[in-house]
Amino acid sequence: MNDEEYGPRILRPLDEEPDAPSRVDVAAAVVAGSRSRRRRRVAATAAAAAAGLAIASVPVVISQAGQTTPDAAGRPSASAKPSPSPKQQYDRTMDVAFPTSCTGEALPVPGGGQSHASALDPTGRYATYRTYVDGRQPIIWHDGTITKVGTPGDDDGLYSINSNGVAVGIVWKGTGPVAIAAEGAKSAQLPGGKGREARAINDHGVIVGGSFDEDAPLRWASRTSQPEKLPLPKGATRAMAYDIDTDGTIVGYVETGAAGAPSGADPAKPSPSAGGTPGAEGTKVRADGARGGRIAYVWPAKGPGRVLERPTAPGVTIDYYDARGISNGWVVGFAAAVGDDRATYGVRWDLNTGKAELLPGLEWSNGINQYGWIAGMTEDNHAALTDGKRVLRLPDVFAFDKQYGMNWAEAVSDDGRTLIGNVDDADRDGLQQAVVWRCS
Amino acid sequence: MASTKNTKRDAEYTEFVSAQLTSLRRTAYLLCGDAHRADDLVQQAITKLYVRWHRTRDVVHLDRYVRTMLVREFLDERRLSWAKVRLFGRTPDESRQPEPNTELRLVLRDALERVPRRQRAVLVLRFLCDLPVDEVAHLLGCSPGTVKSQTSHGLAALRRHLGDAADIPLIAAARRV
């Protein structure tokens, strides 16, 4: 039996309608779409104003929300006050200027085709991406020289790389992922790596990640250590560790069950001494659990884990937020608001104060560096670097595809001079291309 | 004037999308195997369609166009890390409710979900949505040859994941005829 006969036969039993009533809301699409279109018009005007510059550079204030005080309406989020932070744990001295212009170029793609960039190390000298010739081929880029890691696989990728050039990620083996670490052309399975994903590695070689089902966040003390499960607040049904700071602080998210979680004997209850938000956090887990929502979570190097402050702004109620990256005590994440158009925001926390700050102009907030600068995408779908006040739009590298075009930055180096990300290539029908930007 | 034009445009959009909704939800559901996730994908796709509506409504094969948008939403690398964000939310209890699926479907669906995303899309579009190779190639932005090789790889992966169960659907399908 050939493919043409076997395919329809074997799949036919799946030929069925969705097993739940539709929740698609056409009116909401009109509302959200109109909003997005208005933003595009504004962005187009800004772009037109900047036209004539060889390199796009559009500094604009995007965030006032961070300066507003949470209202005291009795909502759980509003009751959580930033900690007095007796000691400034992280250095906030800034010794470099925010860049004003960048140039970009595609990362090399042996054999051609699509590519996708994932990670950059703090020095900006190492990056990881993958190509799509005969499968997913992970590649390590080091100062312009590339090394293929292993052979092409079904869904292999390197999600993080440190300043020593050690990367972590997954290879897809048969039924699921296997967590790996890679150095040079070679990769090796992490102990206990089957069915697990390695998401980040810091400069001390400590690795974090979790199970494929996202129900057990994990920490590997080294490439050769067995993983340990990170403690979860009671009632947590899902959780993942996304990133680890140089000092060992881990960030990610937890989700709690619909029945609500008891907080009295919570082993991971808030720690007022850890620079977070004391007092109401146990309650917050429970309150959020009632909605089954996602909450950003931090596991300090020492001491119990805690919930990160729920971001808020006038007229905005966030019911879903997580933490994706951390650098020097700056945490970047994502938040979704209650409302008809389900608006989404970038979020930044400063662990010195525990305060959350919404970044409304940022549709995606992916990577963060030691100064709290964020690599992401603006609402008009262009890659950008922002320090929370200024936004530097990164050049598109390839012509911006009007139908599917969306270019975004994934990561930024500690000095803010190197970024990696992905751009749509209009010449190839919107397929993605990994790029590196140099800024000054 | 402008507002009348907008109202007319919105009405056209709503009419078109409403007519496509059943088909879009089905395709999305076949791709991802989860009704809620499928609705998320459709919602994303039709929102983007609205943004581009003034430019796209004269496209000849608008149904194909919106399906392409849907499939790209599904395939989009960016969504891998953001995929867990559910626009509609869902409580864990809800997800555990038994579905009115036969065991056969569950086994098949489980196996299909382990097939790499792009190969899965090729299998679903070709064999469940009955699209010709050329159209799938256009939709995925690759050559017809790639579609064929992805089909082959995808089916091989599916067989591997099904193991002993690989023959069951064939028997069941034969019985149904």
User: For residue B138, what is the nearest residue in chain A, using CA coordinates?
Assistant: A429
Q: A341-360: per-residue pLDDT in tens?
A: 567 788 999 999 999 999 87
Among A233-247, B43-57, B72-86, the minimum mean pLDDT is found in B72-86
The tokens describing A220, both together, are 């590997």
Q: What is the DSSP code string of B52-97?
A: THHHHTT-TTHHHHHHHHHHHHHH-THHHHHTT--TT---HHHHHS
Is a pLDDT exceeding 70 seen at residue A405? no
Coil, helix or strand for A383? strand
Percentage of chain A modeled with pLDDT above 70:
75
Q: Judging by beta carbons within 10 Å of its beta carbon (0-12, 13-18, 19+), is residue A201 exposed, middle or buried?
A: buried
User: Which residue in chain A is spatially nearest to B156 when comparing CA positions?
Assistant: A3
d(CA B90, CA B72): 23
Nearest CA-CA partner of A294 in A239, A232, A356, A360:
A239
Pick the range with the lowest mean pLDDT from A7-16, A210-219, A254-263.
Answer: A254-263
* The two structure tokens encoding residue B54: 């003034």
pTM of the model: 0.62
**Contact assignment for A257 to B92 by CB distance below 8 Å:** yes
Q: Give the highest mean pLDDT range of A77-91, A238-252, B66-80, B100-114.
A: A238-252
Cβ contact (<8 Å) for A30 and B91?
Answer: no
Burial A163-197 (b: 16+ CB within 10 A, else e): bebbbbbbbbbeebbbbbbbbeeebebbeebeebb
Find the range with the poorest average confidence among A19-28, A38-47, B54-63.
A38-47
The residue assigned the tokens 């860049």 is A99
pLDDT at residue B163, rounded to an integer: 76
C-alpha B31/C-alpha A348 separation (Å) is 34
CA distance B61 to chain A (A): 15
Predicted local confidence at residue A65, as pLDDT: 32
Q: Which residues of A touch B77 (CB under 8 A)?
A: 116, 422, 432
Residues 133-172 of B with CB under 8 A from A: 141, 148, 151-152, 155, 157-162, 166, 169-170, 172
CATH number of A6-439: 2.130.10.10
Q: For A249-278, what is the mean pLDDT?
A: 52
* Highest mean pLDDT out of A211-215, A250-254, A282-286: A250-254
Provide the mean pLDDT of chain A. Answer: 79
pLDDT of the residue at B3: 66
Cα–Cα nearest to A77, from A352, A283, A325, A336: A283
The count of C-alpha atoms lying within 13 angstroms of the C-alpha of B124, restricted to the half-sphere facing its C-beta, is 28
* b/e A207-217 (16+ beta carbons within 10 angstroms → b): bbbbbbebebb
Residue type at A46?
A: A
E strands of A85-136, at which residues? 102-106, 115-120, 126-131
B2 CB near a chain A CB, below 8 Å? no
Q: Which residue has the tokens 């030929």?
A: A15
Taking the mean position of all CA atoms in its chain, how far away is CA A193?
22
Find residue A31's DSSP bridge partners. Answer: none
Q: What is the mean pLDDT of chain B?
A: 75
Q: Which two tokens stand for residue A161?
A: 């790389």
User: Residue B4 to residues B1, B7, B8, B57: CA-CA distances in angstroms?
Assistant: 5, 5, 6, 17
**pLDDT beyond 80 at B28:** yes
Tell me the nearest-neighbour CA distance from A190 into chain B, angstroms: 21
Q: Which residue in A196, A195, A194, A250 sits closest to A221, CA to CA? A: A250
Residue B14 has pLDDT above 50, yes or no: yes
Which of A369, A426, A439 has the alpha carbon at shortest distance from A119? A369
Q: Is the pLDDT of residue B122 over 90?
A: yes
In Å, what is the CA distance from A357 to each residue of A81, A312, A372, A378?
13, 8, 11, 16
* pLDDT confidence bin for B54, thresholds 50/70/90: confident
Distances (CA, A) of A356 to A21, A67, A282, B40, B67: 37, 10, 17, 27, 38
Which pLDDT value is given to residue A304? Answer: 92
Which residue do the tokens 């890679």 mark? A182
What does the radius of gyration of chain B's CA atoms come to, in whole angstroms? 18
Q: What is the DSSP code string of A408-420?
A: EEEEE-TTSSEEE
Q: Which of A1, A3, A9, A14 to mutate to test the interface with B (most CBs of B within 10 A)?
A: A14
A3-12, A76-85, A197-206, B126-135: which range is least confident on average?
A76-85
Give the span between the Cα atoms of B120 and B133, in whole angstroms.
Answer: 14
- The minimum CA-CA distance between A93 and chain B, rounded to whole Å, is 32
Other Cβ atoms within 10 Å of B158 Cβ, number: 23
**What is the distance in angstroms between the Cα of B4 and the nearest Cα belonging to chain A?**
15
d(CA A412, CA A407): 15
Kindly identify which residue of chain B lies nearest to residue A239, measuring between CA atoms: B84
Q: Which of A15-24, A222-231, A305-314, B118-127 has the lowest mean pLDDT?
A: A15-24
In terms of Cβ atoms closer than 10 Å to its own Cβ (0-12, 13-18, 19+), residue B43 is buried
Contact A388, A372 (CB under 8 A): yes
Sign of the four-CA dihedral A398, A400, A405, A409: positive
- Tokens 């599904």 belong to B74
Name chain A contacts of B43, Cβ cutoff 8 Å: 24-25, 28-29
Residue % of chain A over a pLDDT of 90: 47
Pairing status of strand A374-378 against strand A228-229: unpaired
pLDDT of residue B60: 65
Closest partner residue to B116 (CB to CB) among A10, A172, A422 is A172
Residue A101 falls in which region: left (phi positive, over 0), alpha (psi -120 to 50) or beta: beta
Which of B39, B56, B161 faces A175 most closely, judged by CB atoms? B161
**Strand A115-120 with A102-106, pairing:** unpaired
Distance to chain B for A60, nearest Cα, Å: 23
